[in-house]
Amino acid sequence: MRFERLESIAGSVVKSTLDSLPPVIRDEAADCTIEFSEMDALLDIEPDLDPDLLGLFEGNARCDPLPAAPDEMPRIRLFLDNLWHDCEGDLKTFREEVRITLLHELGHYLGLDEDQVEALGLA
């Protein structure tokens, strides 16, 4: 499936997921940029990334000091090509994996570590 179509589908999932959050968490999430990326395109630029990543939180978490530089600004990247391949082209599974990956990375933004995110069923 073309990236633009995956981006459209993922955008709809992200919006509905954020809209479903409790207001206090939704307000916190509003400060974190959410981007859609293609892992294949990034590996040449950022070769240290795990090529199988589905999502990535970067920058300062909510519990960290306020960002002092652009690279400290919080952002979540969802790797749509990896998500699509991981779902073996199943649209229903893709939508669910986008939702789970978004919530997983949002958990990191809110200060949860990998074990805490997993305990919430978001691994």
pLDDT value, residue 123: 65
Cα–Cα distance for residue pair 118/82, rounded to 1 Å: 20
Which pLDDT value is given to residue 17? 95
Say whether 37 sits in a helix, a strand or coil: strand
Angle at 47 between CA 43 and CA 53, to 5 degrees: 65
pLDDT at 5 over 70: yes
Instruction: Count how many domains the chain has.
Output: 1
Domain range holding 60?
A: 3-119
Per residue in 60-93, pLDDT tens? 988 888 777 777 899 999 999 999 999 999 999 9
Specify whether the CB–CB gap between 98 and 14 falls below 8 A.
Answer: yes
Could you give phi then psi for residue 57, rounded to 5 degrees? -100, 130
CA-angle at 21, arms to 30 and 69, nearest 5°: 25
CATH classification at residue 49: 3.30.2010.20
pLDDT per position as a tens digit, 20-60: 999 988 998 998 999 999 998 777 778 788 999 999 999 99
